[in-house]
């Protein structure tokens, strides 16, 4: 299947995740963080991963690079085939530490929500970028500094050469995130994993960062996994979306389909909580009722059933797998047809610009 690649030419996806399962073994019990998820990411694709806090977005993505604390975390199963184009796909989860180090940063780069925790406060921005370039590309001295200026200008930092000797605290939050992006793209990765990189920023700056990543993605052709709890952000950026709930993917579709014909009750709830520019400002946002599940004791059957307006007897005992709706769209709901029919009657919130 090459469906999720906009180019549609490559037969082998860049990333093919199969049945990934991750748990945390804690003194309070086993946290079922990621419960057997599978998806594919094409070369140059932008995949949005959306879901409430605690749904497994970060753990499922960071586990691919073993950037999770093991222990208490343990990868219980699955494969993550990465095809960088230089040979047969390799399973990231089976790589020896030094092989994985060659992938991390170089081929797959990660940016996080809070740049201050990733940047060293007592090292200049220039030295930090140069260090990343030295480690990942083996370039040092003048060449690394020159490349640092290049990437900083590229991500829209004004007077980049002058700012190399500044420290992180001398940059605003948005500018720090640009610095993180500069470091991430300095070695032209095939995949950028962005874990809620704009969540801490105000809306205007958030939009600028999203636009920046979109531009870089188009110029460099890298694929992006963008993690967020905000479908509004995804609408500006992603080609495809995985909706996660309680460590499982509950709906998977091209972004337009998610807005046009949401087919899982949880997705419907998320859409209803996206601010609506087309409605009066004081119209209340409809949040999803109920609390996210206890990940140590997940509800029986469909984990969403305690919060679901569509539940029937079957949902309490049988966990629905992702059921195919069409070639590109699937939903893990026994009653997706009903949900879809209901969503067709409602006015959808503003989706991606056409
Ligand atoms: N260090 C940890 N110890 C125990 N449980 C954890 C740890 N990190 C994450 N978890 C649990 O794993 C689940 C998934 O977490 P995460 O992927 O971070 O969620 P998200 O990114 O969607 O907010 C959550 O239930 C969370 O409580
Ligand atoms: Mg997270």
- Please report the pLDDT score of residue 284 as a whole number: 46
Residue 53 CA, ligand 2 centroid: distance in Å: 6
Across the range 114-134, mean pLDDT stands at 85
Q: Is residue 160 domain-resident?
A: yes
- pLDDT of 163 above 60: yes
pLDDT at residue 288 greater than cutoff 80: no
Residue 277's pLDDT is what?
60
Instruction: Kindly indicate the confidence band of residue 8, based on its pLDDT and cuts at 50, 70 and 90.
Output: very low
> DSSP 3-state assignment of 228?
strand
When mean pLDDT is compared across 18-22, 26-30, 69-73, 84-88, the lowest value belongs to 84-88
Between 314 and 181, where is the model more confident? 314
* Any domain includes 134: yes
Look at the chain and report how many structural domains it folds into: 1
Contacts made by residues 159-163, CB under 8 angstroms, sequence distance 24+? 163/125, 163/126
For residue 319, give both structure tokens. 């966990």
pLDDT of residue 54: 92
Instruction: Report whether residue 70 contacts ligand 1, using a CB cutoff of 6 Å.
Output: no
Does ligand 1 have an atom closer than 6 angstroms to the CB of 229?
Answer: no
What is the rounded average pLDDT of the residues 250-264?
95
Q: How many residues would you count in the chain?
A: 354
The residue contributing the CA closest to ligand 1 atom 5 is 24
Higher pLDDT: 112 or 244? It is 244
Q: Does any domain span residue 176?
A: yes
Percentage of the chain modeled with pLDDT above 90: 55
- Asked if the model's pLDDT at residue 281 lies above 80, the reply is no
SS3 290: coil
The range of the structural domain enclosing residue 178 comes to: 122-188
What would the two tokens of residue 332 be? 């893990």
pLDDT at 144: 86
Global pTM reads 0.89
Output the residue whose Cα is nearest ligand 1's atom 14: 56
Which of the two residues, 11 and 292, has the higher pLDDT score? 292
Helical residues (DSSP H) of 221-299, grouped into ranges: 231-237, 255-260, 265-272
Higher pLDDT, 1 or 174: 174
Per-residue confidence at 301, pLDDT binned at 50, 70, 90? very high
Residue 58 inside a domain? The answer is no
pLDDT band, very low/low/confident/very high, at 4 (cuts 50, 70, 90): very low
CA of 7 to the centre of ligand 2 (A): 29
Asked whether residue 132 is assigned to any structural domain, the reply reads yes
- Ramachandran sector of residue 175 (left: φ over 0; alpha: ψ -120 to 50; beta: rest): alpha
Ligand 1 atom closest to the Cα of residue 227 is 21
| Percentage of residues in the chain having pLDDT higher than 70 | 90
Residues 202-238: tens digit of each pLDDT = 888 888 888 888 988 988 899 999 999 888 888 889 9
Does any domain span residue 311? no
52 C-alpha to ligand 2 centroid (Å): 9
**What pLDDT does residue 7 have?**
46
What pLDDT score was predicted for residue 79? 97
Of all helices (H) and strands (E), which one includes residue 345? Answer: helix 336-345
Residue 181 lies in a domain: yes
Q: Whose CA is nearest to atom 25 of ligand 1?
A: 54
Using CB atoms within 10 Å of the CB of residue 34, give its burial: 0 to 12 exposed, 13 to 18 middle, 19+ buried.
buried
pLDDT tens by residue, 316-337: 999 999 999 999 999 999 999 9
Does some domain include residue 283? no
Dihedral angle over CA of 20, 26, 30, 31, nearest 10:
-60
- What pLDDT is attached to residue 14? 96
Query: Which residue's alpha carbon is nearest to atom 17 within ligand 1?
Result: 56
Does residue 273 register a pLDDT over 80?
A: no
Distance 33 CA to ligand 1 centre (A): 6
With a cut of 80, say whether residue 137 has pLDDT above it.
no
Q: Which residue has the higher pLDDT, 276 or 294?
A: 294
Our separate counts of H helices and E strands in the chain read: 13, 12
Per-residue model confidence (pLDDT) at position 2: 42
Distance in angstroms (rounded) separating the CA atoms of residues 169 and 88: 44
Q: What pLDDT does 190 receive?
A: 94
Distance, in Å, from the CA atom of 248 to the CA atom of 350, rounded to the nearest integer, reads: 26
Dihedral of the CA atoms 55, 56, 61, 65 (nearest 10)? 160
Q: How far is CA 130 from its chain centroid? A: 27
Q: Is the pLDDT of residue 267 over 90?
A: yes
Ligand 2 center to 57 CA (angstroms): 6
- The pLDDT tens digits for 55-99 are 999 999 999 999 999 999 999 999 999 998 788 899 999 999 999
| Residues near 245 by beta carbon (within 8 Å), at least 6 away in sequence | 51, 52, 55, 266, 303, 304
Q: Which atom of ligand 1 is nearest to the CA of 72?
A: 3
Question: Does residue 135 surpass a pLDDT of 70?
Answer: yes
């Amino acid at each position: 299947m090459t469906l999720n690649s906009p180019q549609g030419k490559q037969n082998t996806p860049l990333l093919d995740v199969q049945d990934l399962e991750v748990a945390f073994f804690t003194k309070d019990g086993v946290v079922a963080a990621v419960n057997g998820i599978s998806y594919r990411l094409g070369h140059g694709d932008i995949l949005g991963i959306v879901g409430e806090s605690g749904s497994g977005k970060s753990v499922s993505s960071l586990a691919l690079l073993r950037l999770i604390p093991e222990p208490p975390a343990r990868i219980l199963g699955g494969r993550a085939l990465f095809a960088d184009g230089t040979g047969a796909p390799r399973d990231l989860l089976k790589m020896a530490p030094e092989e994985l180090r060659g992938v991390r940063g170089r081929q797959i780069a990660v940016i996080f929500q809070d740049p201050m925790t990733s940047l060293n406060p007592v090292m200049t921005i220039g030295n930090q970028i140069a260090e990343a370039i030295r480690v990942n590309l083996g370039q040092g001295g003048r060449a690394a500094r020159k490349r640092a200026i290049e990437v900083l200008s590229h991500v829209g930092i004004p007077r980049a050469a002058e700012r190399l000797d500044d420290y992180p605290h001398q940059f605003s939050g948005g500018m720090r995130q640009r610095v993180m992006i500069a470091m991430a793209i300095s070695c032209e990765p095939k995949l950028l994993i962005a874990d809620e990189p704009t969540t801490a920023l105000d809306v205007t700056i958030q939009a600028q960062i999203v636009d920046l990543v979109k531009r870089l993605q188009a110029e460099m052709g890298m694929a992006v996994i963008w993690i967020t709890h905000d479908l509004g952000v995804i609408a500006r950026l992603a080609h495809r979306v995985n909706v996660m709930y309680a460590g499982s993917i509950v709906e998977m579709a091209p972004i337009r389909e998610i807005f046009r014909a949401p087919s899982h009750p949880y997705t419907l709830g998320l859409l209803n909580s996206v601010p609506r520019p087309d409605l009066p400002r004081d119209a209340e946002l409809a949040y999803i009722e109920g609390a996210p599940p206890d990940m140590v004791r997940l509800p029986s059957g469909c984990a969403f059933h305690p919060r679901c307006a569509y539940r029937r007897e079957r949902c309490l005992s049988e966990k629905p797998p992702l059921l195919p709706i069409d070639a590109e769209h699937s939903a893990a709901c026994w009653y997706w047809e009903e949900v879809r029919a209901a969503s067709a009657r409602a006015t959808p919130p503003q989706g991606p610009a056409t």
